[in-house]
Amino acid sequence: MFEDVAGQPNITATLKYEIAAGRIAHAYIFTGSRGTGKTTCAKIFAKAVNCLNPHDGDPCNECENCRGIDAGSLLDVVEIDAASNNGVDNIRELREETVYTPASSKYRVYIIDEAHMLSTGAFNALLKTLEEPPAYVIFILATTEVNKIPATIMSRCQRFDFRRIPIPDIVARLQYVAQQEKIDLTPAAAEMIAKISDGALRNALSLLDQCAGIGGTVDEERVAQTAGLTSREYLFELSGAVKNRDSAAALSVIDRLYAYAKDMERLCEELIAHFRDLMIVKSVKDPFEVINCRTDERERLQKTADGFSLEAILHALDTLQSTLELLKRSSSGRVYIETCLLRLCNPELDTSKTALLRRIEALEEKLKSGNFTAAPAAPSAAQSAAPPVQDAPKEIPAETPQPKIEKAESGRPKQEPLGGLPPREGLPSTDSSADVPLDCWAEILEELKKSDPPLFGVLRESSAIIRGGFVLIDPNNTLFAGLIRSQEHQRPLVDTIRRITGKPYKVGIFKKGLETAKRQKPDGLDEIIENASKAGIEVKEK
């Protein structure tokens, strides 16, 4: 019966009217997301047009034809999976069959599931049949990607768009199935399953079957365990950590969830849904007419939303959505979700244009409102000026290594390179006119995404140039300098650059603001040479 198709009243009413009035088209396209009833509706339609005793467009489900279609034994109704039968030869065989009249029914009905998977040649072969169809043949094309169906096919079919099934309709169907199957299903659990299914009744019924397989009452806790869901408490903890800019608390929650084997991709989806609820609360007058949540959570949602600006919520949604795309293509789920939360808890780490604009807007608001504290006055030049150096330094601090000056064999002092750094001739030139952009930097980042995800997360918005034998990287953040000191991260970067460019470049950090200072006083070497000269030691630069 068409009433068994949940959540599609307009489509079922139209099809019933066409059948009852005898105005049946020769080709239909059923399109919509998975689990919304496309194939089910197609099978009911095939039964209705061939039923020996139809009732107002509905099949009787009792006649020989109806029972044969239900059993799959009626040869005049053919279901084809285009995902595995997508070649031109398959459609040619189908065309050859259409010349024969139905054996025991009024119409030969061909249901082509996943029709968008057909090849170009197969579509062209099908088009020949659709242009001059036999009166006794009906084609029903079911697809989730209607944009891949050629326009020439679309123009010869009636199109029906199946919408996502509303949550109340899914809940009603779940309760009906639970009653028929003697399953103890609580209303709250039925609503949770409906939300998880994302408008697909098939997904909801499958999850209900999984939950009922264990036995006993199917409640919210059972559904959460079966689906690998995160409890709402965790979501409020994470959003609270973002609000308070508490990175440690956010990472602690992720650590607990990971220990419980929670799916990081599912967690990201739930965080998106959670911040979407906060966005609705923040921007809609009566938000709980739009949001489906328990009554005891409404006050908590409102309180959490009050701690965010709408701009901050939108920024969180953008960041989480980008992270979800990365999670779908990577196995390093924990790293990506932790990096995402660090960016949300520390806005200064986010160097995207949108984040910078928001920070500028926040500063402008503080200036307008006068809600800021002036920085302490800088000391005068006379106070801050360092006393002149009278003698050569007798002791060099450990944190600023200085060159070691020894006597050469000829009697002249010998200048050694700075400890831990290459000789001066090995340093990159300060002449920025020789800079050449590294065109393959994007390709290098793609390789780093696979070999070193944490380093890629830091460098994802960076740029690089070539200067002499160095690749100088402008990371746009402060994390890179710490990571690059570690051989664990330095080695993959150097190896990747060598593999892609074919040249053994060294790696350095490029900061435009330090160029002038470096040219004037490279690493304090001028001051050391001056002190040595005052001490009567001759130093010669090469």
- The CATH number of the domain holding residue 455 is 3.30.300.180
Residue 86 CB burial class (10 angstroms; 0-12, 13-18, ≥19): buried
CA–CA distance, 180 with 142 (Å, rounded to integer) = 29
Number of domains making up the chain = 4
> Which of 274, 542, 242, 286 lies closest to 415, judged by CA?
542
Report the share of the chain in percent with pLDDT over 70: 76
**What contacts 156, CB < 8 A, 6 or more positions away?**
27, 127, 130, 131
Let me know whether 237 and 115 are in one domain: no
Rg (C-alpha) for the chain, rounded Å, is: 35
Q: Output the CA–CA distances (angstroms, integers) from residue 88 to 77, 167, 509, in the order listed.
A: 21, 41, 57
CA–CA distance, 273 with 264 (Å, rounded to integer) = 14
Q: What dihedral angle (degrees, nearest 10) is formed by the CA atoms of 457, 460, 466, 469?
A: 10
Residue type for position 542: K
Q: Which of 354, 372, 396 is the last residue of a domain?
A: 354
CA–CA distance, 194 with 200 (Å, rounded to integer) = 8
Let me know whether 350 and 241 are in one domain: yes
Let me know whether 194 and 242 are in one domain: no
Domain residues for 214?
A: 167-227
CA–CA distance, 54 with 50 (Å, rounded to integer) = 9
SS3 at position 151: helix
Let me know whether 215 and 288 are in one domain: no
Let me know whether 171 and 150 are in one domain: no
Q: Would you say residue 181 has pLDDT above 90?
A: no
DSSP string, 501-522: HSS--EEEE--GGGHHHHHHSG
In a domain, 388, yes or no: no
Let me know whether 116 and 251 are in one domain: no
Neighbouring CB atoms inside 10 A of 155's CB total: 9
- The pLDDT of residue 54 is 86
Neighbouring CB atoms inside 10 A of 125's CB total: 20
Top mean-pLDDT range of 87-96, 221-230, 388-397, 514-523: 87-96
Q: At 407, phi and psi to the nearest 5? A: -85, 130
The average pLDDT across 365-388 equals 55
Let me know whether 7 and 156 are in one domain: yes
Let me know whether 191 and 120 are in one domain: no
CA–CA distance, 22 with 239 (Å, rounded to integer) = 58
> Which of 29, 148, 30, 41 lies closest to 86, judged by CA?
148
| pLDDT tens per residue, range 485-501 | 677 777 888 888 888 88
Q: Checking phi first, is residue 310 left (phi over 0); if not, alpha (psi -120 to 50) or beta? A: alpha
> What residues form DSSP beta bridges with 110?
78, 139
Let me know whether 22 and 90 are in one domain: yes
Neighbouring CB atoms inside 10 A of 460's CB total: 18
Let me know whether 194 and 108 are in one domain: no
CA–CA distance, 521 with 523 (Å, rounded to integer) = 6
In a domain, 529, yes or no: yes
In a domain, 379, yes or no: no
State the DSSP code for 377. P
- The CATH number of the domain holding residue 84 is 3.40.50.300
Q: Would you say residue 523 has pLDDT above 70?
A: no
**What contacts 457, CB < 8 A, 6 or more positions away?**
335, 336, 339
Summary mean pLDDT of the chain: 78
The average pLDDT across 226-252 equals 84
Cβ atoms of 34 and 202 within 8 Å: the answer is yes
> Which of 108, 81, 83 lies closest to 95, judged by CA?
108
- The CATH number of the domain holding residue 269 is 1.20.272.10
- The pLDDT of residue 455 is 79
Q: Which of 326, 354, 382 is the last residue of a domain?
A: 354
Q: What would the two tokens of residue 367 be?
A: 């200036």
Q: Would you say residue 141 has pLDDT above 80?
A: yes
What are the start-end ranges of the E strands in 105-189? 108-113, 137-143, 158-162
Q: Output the CA–CA distances (angstroms, integers) from residue 240 to 278, 301, 479, in the order listed.
A: 12, 11, 25
Q: Which of 161, 193, 218 is the last residue of a domain?
A: 161
- The CATH number of the domain holding residue 200 is 1.10.8.60
| pLDDT tens per residue, range 193-215 | 888 887 888 888 888 988 888 77
Q: Estimate the crossing angle of helix 333-345 against helix 264-283, to 10 degrees.
A: 30
Q: Would you say residue 33 has pLDDT above 80?
A: yes
Let me know whether 321 and 454 are in one domain: no
| pLDDT tens per residue, range 302-344 | 889 988 988 889 989 999 999 999 888 877 788 889 999 998 9
CA–CA distance, 491 with 428 (Å, rounded to integer) = 19
- The pLDDT of residue 396 is 43
| pLDDT tens per residue, range 448-476 | 888 878 778 778 778 888 888 888 888 77
125 pLDDT band, cuts 50/70/90, is confident
Let me know whether 155 and 49 are in one domain: yes
Share of the chain residues as helix, strand and coil, in percent rounded to the nearest 5:
55, 10, 35
> Which of 340, 348, 350 lies closest to 254, judged by CA?
340
> Which of 475, 459, 463 lies closest to 436, judged by CA?
463
- The pLDDT of residue 317 is 92
In a domain, 428, yes or no: no
445 pLDDT band, cuts 50/70/90, is confident
**What contacts 59, CB < 8 A, 6 or more positions away?**
1, 44, 47, 48, 51, 66
What b-and-e string marks burial along 351-380, b requiring 16 or more CB atoms within 10 Å of the CB? Answer: ebeebeebeeeeeeeeeeeeeeeeeeeeee
